[in-house]
Amino acid sequence: MLTLSTFVKSAKKCAYNPSVSNEEFLNALLEPYVFAGGVVAKGGTAFRLDKHRTSKILSGQADVPLALRKVSLQHGLERRVSEGCAILWDETLNPMYFGEFKKDIASLIDGEDPLQKALGEKLCVKEEDPDAYLACLLIGVIGLKNRPETQGVIWRKGTGSFSWLVGDLFRFGFNSRKKAKNLVVVPVDCSFETHVTRDYEGLEVKRVSENTVHGKWLIRMAQSGVLEPELKERISYELRGVARDSEGCCPVGTVAAIETPKSVFLLLAVSKFDSNGNAKSGPEDISRALDCLLGYYDRLGQGADMYMPLIGTGLSRSGLDVRESFGMIVDAVTRGASFVGGKVVLVLLPEVAAELGLIK
């Protein structure tokens, strides 16, 4: 997708000095626009992006500065920027790479986005004039979003909704600043293990990996002062009265609620450990667990916001890829939509959201 960030990265391939710092290069690219538009920083000082702001922009974590966008509709701006771009092609960018640069930009334009499509059509008219092309492109990307969409609504009805967002699941559990406590779902094994097995322990049979949501939660709980003996006792109390099999496992879909000062963690049983310490489950287990979770939310959720990860894609070995897990969760929530009385949010890693086509 074409953004200020991807524009800068493409332009740097044309740089006379490829080793120039990102800070120096970005400010050089913006100079024709800043000069032509009379852009100034707060307090009327000269406009310049520092190293920190440059890094945020190029990583897509910050949007285009408002000071730049404020002047984008000035009369005659493109003509004045074009004059500055002539110097840019002479001193900073090598015109020998203009052809490759145009191809690169064309590949970035999202034809389904009206703004990007319109910009692409404007650029086609200016393909034979490097100065005019670069000026049009520079003004265009400043008007585009630099940060990808990081959340979206999948379903909404009354007070109930189901949405997704890119972020850290535990931010809504350990770092929430809301007065009302969030519910945060943590997939666990059916025996509700409380010990994280690390590589240095040298055990023949390893169980809860520190790389799973389960393992990371146990580590975060210990860091917050809730150590293994206390946690084991609290979970046992929550599971009192739940029938267990001969191996001490609860049924798939069993939920144990562990409350902390900032949130309530819902431990959801989705898998069993085999004799080798590997978690095992199947698509039918994941489906059953999701139905049980939504049933629990309907009965006891009291309309609280519930945050959950993809389930069944990691070390639970259910055989689901991210698309299949996503599809099963969407189906479970929308199928039981009448029982969703609050906000349910699926929290995804950036690379997973990209694989699902939710962000570009």
**Is it the case that residue 2 has pLDDT exceeding 90?**
yes
pTM, rounded to two decimals: 0.67
For residues 272-289, average pLDDT:
79
For residues 57-82, average pLDDT:
92
**Is it the case that residue 339 has pLDDT exceeding 90?**
no
Q: How far apart are CA 346 and CA 335, in angstroms?
A: 16
| Residue 150 tokens, joined | 């990081």
Whole-number percent of the chain with pLDDT over 90: 71
Q: Which residues pair with 197 in a beta bridge?
A: 209
For residues 312-330, average pLDDT:
81
| Residue 240 tokens, joined | 């009192």
pLDDT at 279: 66
pLDDT digits (tens, 9 = 90+) for 213-264: 999 999 999 999 999 999 999 999 999 989 999 888 999 999 999 999 999 9
| Inter-residue contact 110 to 2 (CB < 8 Å) | yes
Query: How far is it between the farthest Cα atoms of the chain?
Result: 80
Is 44 strand, coil or helix? helix
**Is it the case that residue 17 has pLDDT exceeding 90?**
yes
**Is it the case that residue 304 has pLDDT exceeding 70?**
yes
Look up residue 94 and give its amino acid: N
Across the chain, mean pLDDT equals: 90
Report CA dihedral (241, 242, 244, 248) to the nearest 10 degrees. Answer: -80
| Residue 53 tokens, joined | 């702001």
- In terms of pLDDT, which residue wins out, 350 or 165? 165
Q: How far apart are CA 93 and CA 29, in angstroms?
A: 9
Q: How far apart are CA 253 and CA 261, in angstroms?
A: 25
Q: Which residues pair with 279 in a beta bridge?
A: 273
**Is it the case that residue 324 has pLDDT exceeding 70?**
yes
For residues 334-350, average pLDDT:
84
Q: How far apart are CA 13 and CA 69, in angstroms?
A: 25
Burial class (CB in 10 A: 0-12, 13-18, 19+), 179: exposed
Strands (E), the chain: 151-157, 160-166, 182-189, 196-197, 208-209, 255-259, 263-273, 279-280, 306-308, 343-348
**Is it the case that residue 277 has pLDDT exceeding 70?**
no
| Inter-residue contact 32 to 130 (CB < 8 Å) | no
Whole-number percent of the chain with pLDDT over 70: 92
Q: Are strands 160-166 and 343-348 parallel, antiparallel or unpaired?
A: parallel
Which residues have a Cβ under 8 Å from the Cβ of 273 and sit 6 or more positions away?
A: 189, 191, 193, 207, 279, 280
Q: For the ranges 40-49, 143-152, 204-213, 272-281, which has the lowest average pLDDT? A: 272-281
| Inter-residue contact 190 to 272 (CB < 8 Å) | yes
pLDDT at 204: 47
Q: How far apart are CA 119 and CA 130, in angstroms?
A: 16
- In terms of pLDDT, which residue wins out, 271 or 93? 93
Q: For residue 166, which of 354, 349, 344 has the smallest C-alpha distance? A: 349
pLDDT digits (tens, 9 = 90+) for 86-125: 999 999 999 999 999 999 999 999 888 899 999 999 999 9
pLDDT digits (tens, 9 = 90+) for 137-174: 999 999 998 877 678 999 988 888 999 998 899 999 99
Q: How far apart are CA 96 and CA 172, in angstroms?
A: 50
Look up residue 145 and give its amino acid: K
| Inter-residue contact 205 to 277 (CB < 8 Å) | yes
For residues 281-288, average pLDDT:
89
Which residues have a Cβ under 8 Å from the Cβ of 322 and sit 6 or more positions away?
A: 310, 313, 352, 355, 356
Is 152 strand, coil or helix? strand
**Is it the case that residue 191 has pLDDT exceeding 90?**
yes
